[in-house]
Amino acid sequence: MKNTRFLNFRYIFYPFLAFLFGIIVARGMYSGDIETFLVVIALLFGVGIILIIKKKYKIMALLFAFFFVGNGFYFLGELTYSVKSYEGEVSIVGRVSDNFEENDYYYVVILDNVTINGESAKNIKANFSKGEQEIKVGDILAFESEVSEESLFTLGYLNSSFYRQNVGYTLSASTSDIVVSPGYTNIDEEVRLAIKDLIYSRLSEDNASIAYAVLFGDQSGISFEVNEAYRNSGIIHIIAVSGFNVGFLIAILYNLFSHSKKKRLVSFIVTTCIIIVYAYFCGFAPSVVRASIMGIVSMSAQIFGRRYDALNSLGLSGFIILLLNPLTAFDVGFLMSVFCVIGIVTLSPMLVKLFNKFMPKAIASYIAVSFSAQIAILPFLASFGSTYNLLSFIINLFVVPLFAIMYPYLFFISFLSLILPFLSVLLVPVDWLLSACYFIATIFSTSSLQVRLSPISIAGCSIFFLLIFAVGSLVLSKPTNKFLMSSLLVLLCIFSFGFSYMSNNLSSSVVYLNSYGQESVLLVSQSGQSMLVGNNYILSRFTNNYNLDKINIYLSFEDLTEDDVEELEEFGFSYYVSTSGDRFQDEIRVVDTDSTIEAGDFNFCYVSVEGKVFGVVISFDQTSVFVASGEEIDYNNIELYQDCLDRLEIDIAFLGENYSLADDNFVSVGFSKNSQTSYNFSDDGNLLFDIDGSVVVRRID
């Protein structure tokens, strides 16, 4: 009997997938994550059985080899990023790069070409409070400060921006304490800064920040309101430099010349050079590099009369990126770029046939490509706990063509204006188009047709993409077999999602999170009620991972403003509590210090020492927790603070920088090491305390 082909095997694409998967699962598989281990065993066993039945032993050996090589590259990536630990103040010299933000109170910059105590070191993200001195891009700074080494992963997610920018440390200092010397700017920085000045001189501030992000990928200037409007309307992907932009740019550049063979070669060389230079200006962002390599391969195929295979081209670009920077495998932007292409290649042919039955083929193709891409990126949107606008498909049909017109126009006018500055006036139409896009985004961002996406486990994500392969054009099988396979995978995906949801629910726990020196303590009672003290960047990431849709009560040590409440709205608080300030809304409650308040499953009391709020003590589920206010204590009267803690009989205390007060069950979080602390952020990272008769502590990095 004839052995029918089950899969059209590509000798670059599928080994790349095995290599990528090997890197991604290595972290969990070799650190004892049972779910990851079981997923890996199941997939390897399933692939092995299918290939043995099909007698594809060489292919099986090839895929397994690349999988285990990928495991090794994960550890190689970790090793190359390792940073040295420093205690106390160190001498730092570094150059201010154009990763530069400024407001009325501080500068936030990335220092490169860094030396610490005379040794070459990784880049530093520095927060400088403003003093008498000003700093600018290119300046050389010399000063002394404590530094905090940064972890590559936070709550299971790669710190992508730090990894791309080679940042290994963070610090806070004042410009009053630094010595500033004239330095230099790199060519790419000069180009970006010059174009930034041109854009901001011709466009409104909000539109200029979007235009600059579209050109170079720097989204730091985009306001919270604009970012949320684009995110909630489902078009956030268009305000970042992406493979779509680069692919469109390559098509325009390559077709500027005629189609004669000789001129095609000239066009190929010129276009390749321009794209490589542009990728350099974009800091070789993974999505740009991926699209650039695929575009160059596509042009080469045309020049040499070969058939272009998008998946093999994708595999080649992916291999190059991961061989140079293995941990890019965890970069969500890179993964979205890769699987967006896979979704389009796999699903769009089937959808074109379906849509072509009742609409012209050109329109059917455009809709199929858009729909396929959006399906493929759903797991990555879910990883952020994003909301998905059910109208986003329709919104993209209108907005993407506007960007398709705007992007190449913005690109050419911006770079031409560097040579002929008077041409910058032609940037004004970009302002109109971006205003139109923002208007559309604001209309649809308030739609009630939004679904909150819960993060998908490694098992659910694997099954989801197996389902795309099974349904799409890559699996060669009868429709009946495809239907059976797809049905089984759908059931497995639902089961995996339900299991993940139940296993990640919190109960009777205390969670400590620290991000850039900002602390949050989250308490969840046995019945599921919750209370929060403090807020920071990674809190929403944690609540998404643990399916915590709502936090009941927020405790603050400072006056609450309307802006504070607006920023915290995503957590759905029932009410907010503080010891001072005016109540401007019904949900704001001002309470007295040293008075016990009952709130659902919690009793809490703000504790004062010498007239200052020292912290808050919270009791629930037979456990007492103390969280310090962060106010600097008077060390001349340190006995008063220690007596206060002893009198409260606390099970767990979070003391911040007050590590001298720490005892057996007290957690002091700060850069200083102290033998009295039982846990320290610099050593143990974010912590989860399970409360079930006794306190059990787990790291949750």
Backbone phi and psi for residue 422, each to the nearest 5 degrees, phi listed first: -65, -20
Residue 421 has pLDDT above 50, yes or no: yes
Q: Which residues contact 233 (CB under 8 A, 6 or more apart)?
A: 389, 391, 392, 395, 440, 441, 442, 443, 444, 445, 447
Neighbours of 451 (CB within 10 A): 10
Amino acid 58: pLDDT? 92
Neighbours of 639 (CB within 10 A): 8
Three-state secondary structure of 179-202 = EEECCCCCHHHHHHHHHHHHHHHH
Residue 499 has pLDDT above 70, yes or no: no
Strand partners, 110: 125
Q: Render pLDDT for 245-267 as a digit per residue (tens, 0 to 9).
A: 787 788 788 777 655 556 778 88
If you search the block for the tokens 């594809």, which residue do you land on? 56
Residue 699 has pLDDT above 60, yes or no: no
Amino acid at 215: L
Q: Render pLDDT for 56-65 as a digit per residue (tens, 0 to 9).
A: 899 999 999 9
Q: Render pLDDT for 350-376 as a digit per residue (tens, 0 to 9).
A: 888 888 888 888 888 888 888 888 888
Q: Render pLDDT for 159-198 as a digit per residue (tens, 0 to 9).
A: 888 898 999 998 888 888 899 999 999 999 999 999 999 9
Give the CA radius of gyration of the chain: 28
Neighbours of 376 (CB within 10 A): 23
Q: Chain-wide mean pLDDT for the chain?
A: 82
Backbone phi and psi for residue 427, each to the nearest 5 degrees, phi listed first: -75, -15
Are the CB atoms for 123 and 161 separated by under 8 Å? no
Residue 545 to residues 155, 181, 476, 538, 567, Cα–Cα distance (Å) = 9, 45, 36, 11, 20
Amino acid 53: pLDDT? 86
pTM of the complete model: 0.83
Collapse the DSSP code of 111 into the 3-class scheme (helix H, G, I; strand E, B; otherwise coil) and give the result.
strand
Amino acid 647: pLDDT? 82
Amino acid 39: pLDDT? 86
Longest CA–CA span in the chain (Å) reads 91
Amino acid 682: pLDDT? 43
Residue 6 has pLDDT above 90, yes or no: no
The residue-averaged pLDDT of 592-610 equals: 88
Residue 486 has pLDDT above 80, yes or no: no
Weakest mean pLDDT among 533-542, 553-562, 690-699? 690-699
Q: Which helix (H) or strand (E) holds 37?
A: helix 34-53
Q: pLDDT: is 219 or 505 the higher one?
A: 219
Task: Report the alpha-carbon distance of residue 597 to residue 591 in Å, rounded.
Answer: 8
Q: Render pLDDT for 628-665 as a digit per residue (tens, 0 to 9).
A: 887 777 767 777 887 887 788 777 888 776 666 665 54
Amino acid 432: pLDDT? 92
pLDDT bracket for residue 674 (50, 70, 90): very low
Residue 434 to residues 202, 389, 443, 508, Cα–Cα distance (Å) = 13, 20, 14, 48
pLDDT bracket for residue 609 (50, 70, 90): confident
Amino acid 199: pLDDT? 94
